[in-house]
Structure 1
Amino acid sequence: MKKYFSIILSFAFMLMFSQVENIKNGEKLTYRIHYGFLNAGTATLTANQINYRNAPHYRVTGVGRSSGAVRAFFKVDDVYESYINIATGLPSHYVRNVSEGGYRRHFETEFNQDNQSLTLTNKLEKTSKHFKTVKGLQDMISAFYYLRSIDSTNFKVGSALKINVWIDDEIYPFMLKVTGIENRNTKFGKISCLKIVPYVMSGRIFKSQEGVTMYVTNDANLVPVELKAELLVGSLKASLDDYHNVKYPMNFR
């Protein structure tokens, strides 16, 4: 159970992030995560503009914590950071510092997007490795900021997006397909959303290759408001709980 919860919470946390073009300095999004009937935790994301490597970047910080009854038997305290070059939309630096029960990882990745390489540092073991990568490589956070950077007029039902994502020490290809438009009920009211299906590996955590569904606002913000995952053991739901400083008005009814 602990292994499953660790992976699904990290996956849900990853899907809650936004992007460069449609983001406002100081944007903050908060999500409530439920595992079955349990209030499992929260994920809070903030984005602030900084200079990094003498270039404007957004420093995106995500903090994930288990809560309630779940925290009593499985304590999660995760911090993710991505330094995203505003001009290119690509990450320059990425941090994954997680504590999940007895599982502990602290990786920092320094990207060299010009020569398609990176340096991965294991801060706990004090070791570093160098990797050759691919053009346009994203990390877990910047990938979904890139998703929101897409012109919403071109992000229609039937369209698909392929992204190469760096996770820990390996490149994973992802594909996201827009499969429909639905009105979703939220704590703020009803809002029109694009239904997006990320294609994921089946037979390990999710019930099928299309076991995850994400709903993002059908507007210029493309803010994720809900995520649902059918798991081999139980189900997961994450929903927007609070938001501040989004760039465009949120058209809840």
Structure 2
Amino acid sequence: MKKIHTSLLLNKLKNSPLRIFVILAVSLGFLTFSTSAFMTYQNGNRVAMLSDVTFKKGEKISYLVHYGFINAGEAVVKVDDNFHNIDGNSCYKVEVEGKSVGVFGWTTNIDDKWSSYIDRQKHIPRKFHRKIKENKYRKEETVMFDHSGKQASVKYKKRNDKNWKRKEYPIPTNVQDMISGYYFLRRVDYEKLTKNEIIRMDAFFEDSVYDFKVRYIGKEIIKTKIGKKETFVMSPIMPENGLFSGKESIKIWMSADEDRIPLKIRANMFIGGIEVDVTEYEK
């Protein structure tokens, strides 16, 4: 199966206001995926073992996206209070909401809702849904994952479509989506990684499977709205593109405690530096 370089995904997103959430707030995990639960080698590449970190119903994490002192958007990631049955599999439902705020909201009206149904046992997505509202742009999409059959069934509808369009795509076994990868990343056992080690990943988005790489940098203590935290620091390796300055222009800080909270992201973009900071965490 051919894997597509991340630069093509960036090209899809760069002309959309959603890039602030997908590439920044969402980059706290949604663009960083891992595909195995074992300390092993795949195609000559080491794969990180998963830790014992687990997640509970009702977890809620809030973020603020800002350019310096200018607030641009807010994002909330929460786990539903109930389990959901998808094709006979008990799943967590994780919801993500992003919206524009402040001065940025005067010119760009964003109100996006994403959700993923993640298998409680295998930690893989069974269903993915998103409903996009960006100024006049509208799109609704649902993806059903058949991991044993290595197929993703997609149905979608845009603003002026009267009927749903349906397509099917081949996928690797245990591929992640844009949200399930967020939780999978949090379960990687970073204590067993060495500095500058590369984690390789596969992810399905829209109509393609993308090949991602993340470099583990090490540990660092930072101050946040929810207190001073020791963190694991990592950097998605970015291809040359029209959004970011440099291959390692994004840094992500994740708490090194049992909660594994994505706390902060800083991105050096050609339009200037942008940050996403945690504002609230509820178990």
TM-score between the two structures when normalised by the length of structure 2: 0.80
Instruction: Give the whole-Å Cα distance in 1 for the aligned partners of 2:77 and 2:18.
Output: 19
For residue 106 of structure 1, what is the aligned residue in structure 2?
140
Q: What letter matches 1:30 in structure 2? A: S
Following TM superposition, by how much is the alpha carbon of 1:4 offset from its aligned partner in structure 2, in angstroms? 6.0
Listed as ranges, the gaps of 5+ residues in structure 1 are: 246-253
Instruction: Classify 1:127/1:21 alpha carbon distance in 2 versus 1 (closer, same or farther; 3 Å).
Output: farther
For residue 259 of structure 2, what is the aligned residue in structure 1?
221
Instruction: Give the whole-Å Cα distance in 1 for the aligned partners of 2:245 and 2:173.
Output: 32
Instruction: Give the whole-Å Cα distance in 2 for the aligned partners of 1:88 and 1:213.
Output: 28
Percent of aligned positions with the same letter in both sequences?
25
Greater mean alpha carbon deviation, residues 206-215 or residues 44-53: 44-53
Following TM superposition, by how much is the alpha carbon of 1:54 offset from its aligned partner in structure 2, in angstroms? 2.0
Following TM superposition, by how much is the alpha carbon of 1:131 offset from its aligned partner in structure 2, in angstroms? 0.8
Instruction: Give the whole-Å Cα distance in 1 for the aligned partners of 2:266 and 2:73.
Output: 15
Instruction: Classify 1:4/1:184 alpha carbon distance in 2 versus 1 (closer, same or farther; 3 Å).
Output: farther
Instruction: Give the whole-Å Cα distance in 2 for the aligned partners of 1:35 and 1:5.
Output: 14
Q: Compare relative contact order (CA 8 Å, sep 6+) and give the higher one, 1 or 2.
A: 2
Instruction: Give the whole-Å Cα distance in 2 for the aligned partners of 1:234 and 1:56.
Output: 43
For residue 65 of structure 2, what is the aligned residue in structure 1?
33
Greater mean alpha carbon deviation, residues 124-133 or residues 8-17: 8-17
Instruction: Classify 1:17/1:93 alpha carbon distance in 2 versus 1 (closer, same or farther; 3 Å).
Output: same
For residue 79 of structure 2, what is the aligned residue in structure 1?
47
Q: What letter matches 2:23 in structure 1? A: F
Instruction: Classify 1:146/1:43 alpha carbon distance in 2 versus 1 (closer, same or farther; 3 Å).
Output: same
- Is 1:56 equivalent to 2:90 in the alignment? yes
Listed as ranges, the gaps of 5+ residues in structure 2 are: 1-13, 34-51
For residue 94 of structure 1, what is the aligned residue in structure 2?
128
Instruction: Give the whole-Å Cα distance in 1 for the aligned partners of 2:206 and 2:274.
Output: 23
For residue 23 of structure 1, what is the aligned residue in structure 2?
55
Following TM superposition, by how much is the alpha carbon of 1:17 offset from its aligned partner in structure 2, in angstroms? 4.9
Determine which of 3, 13, 36 is the counterpart of 2:25: 13
Following TM superposition, by how much is the alpha carbon of 1:202 offset from its aligned partner in structure 2, in angstroms? 2.3
Instruction: Give the whole-Å Cα distance in 1 for the aligned partners of 2:15 and 2:152.
Output: 28
Deviations 1:183-237 (A, max 9, x none): 1111222111111101123222111221111000112322110001111112211
Mapping of 1:71-150 within 5 angstroms?
71-124=105-158, 125=161, 126-150=164-188
- Is 1:154 equivalent to 2:192 in the alignment? yes
Instruction: Classify 1:140/1:189 alpha carbon distance in 2 versus 1 (closer, same or farther; 3 Å).
Output: same
Following TM superposition, by how much is the alpha carbon of 1:21 offset from its aligned partner in structure 2, in angstroms? 4.8
CA contact (8 A) 1:109 1:118 kept: yes
CA contact (8 A) 1:32 1:238 kept: yes
Q: What letter matches 2:245 in structure 1? A: K
Greater mean alpha carbon deviation, residues 211-220 or residues 97-106: 97-106
For residue 39 of structure 2, what is the aligned residue in structure 1?
none
**Number of matched residues?**
244
Following TM superposition, by how much is the alpha carbon of 1:152 offset from its aligned partner in structure 2, in angstroms? 4.3
Deviations 1:20-77 (A, max 9, x none): 9521111110011103431011111111232222221110000001111111111110
- Is 1:207 equivalent to 2:245 in the alignment? yes
Greater mean alpha carbon deviation, residues 163-172 or residues 68-77: 163-172
Instruction: Give the whole-Å Cα distance in 2 for the aligned partners of 1:91 and 1:134.
Output: 12
CA contact (8 A) 1:4 1:205 kept: no
Instruction: Classify 1:21/1:192 alpha carbon distance in 2 versus 1 (closer, same or farther; 3 Å).
Output: closer
Instruction: Give the whole-Å Cα distance in 1 for the aligned partners of 2:68 and 2:205.
Output: 26
Q: What CA RMSD, in Å, does the superposition of the two structures yield over aligned residues?
A: 2.0
